Amino acid sequence: MEHAKVNETEKVSLKPSTLFLIILNALIFLCLLLPGLNPVGWILAVPMTLVFMAISGIWHGIWIFFNQKFHPHNIIRCLGFVLPVAGLVVLPYLGFEPSRPINKQKPAISESGQFSAFVIAEPSGWNVEIRNMDGLSLLDYKTEMIPHLNVFWIWGPADTFWLYNSDDGQVHCWHQIASDWKHTVWGHGHKKKTKEDLGMPPFNLYPDYAR
């Protein structure tokens, strides 16, 4: 009887701690919120997530093997911990992301509702794309802004798209002239330098430290 209890205890000890895995899931989720603040978040979150998935999968596999209980609920339990984390990595690439600040919406919808804008970090720099509501690309503007540094963007009145570069403090805007979109460097910080009458950047364009 005592020997049976010992074996049972050993089997139970192999079972992964549910609380431990839940905490890891929560930490991964917090890391995946970083891309809403800085693209460096992806550099931190993706490898960490892959390592967690590998450890979680191996851990559950060992537990199932030694318990010799290949029941559906064991497989479901294993997938239940791995798939949510995998989903948090995959979904942003499909256009679904955790809530983002008002000056980092993806896509950002213009006040008239006629246009949407996507600002994406690419290896060569930040890319600005403006589409109509049918999904047709109207502008695909490749900047030289450093991709691992923050930029902030928002639509303003008259369907003017504004972008603030945290690296050098410059404010950029894109506005429509006839059927074309024109890029203008409005100024630096809150100081206007262009002679064009484009109004002032929206207050919510700037991050808290630059307001």
User: Domain segments of the chain: what residues?
Assistant: 2-93, 102-210
CB count in 10 Å sphere of residue 171: 26
| Averaged pLDDT for residues 150-163 | 95
- Which residues sit opposite 192 in a β-bridge? 187
Q: What is the mean pLDDT of residues 79-107?
A: 67
3-class secondary structure, 109: strand
Angle at 157 between CA 151 and CA 161, to 5 degrees: 30
pLDDT band at 145 (very low <50, low <70, confident <90, very high): very high
Q: pLDDT tens digits for 45-89?
A: 566 666 666 666 666 666 666 665 556 655 665 666 666 656 666
pTM above 0.85, yes or no: no
Could you give the CA distance from residue 176 to residue 164 in angstroms, rounded to a whole number?
19
Question: Is the pLDDT at 120 greater than 80, yes or no?
Answer: yes
pLDDT at 13 over 60: no
Q: What is the pLDDT of residue 89?
A: 60
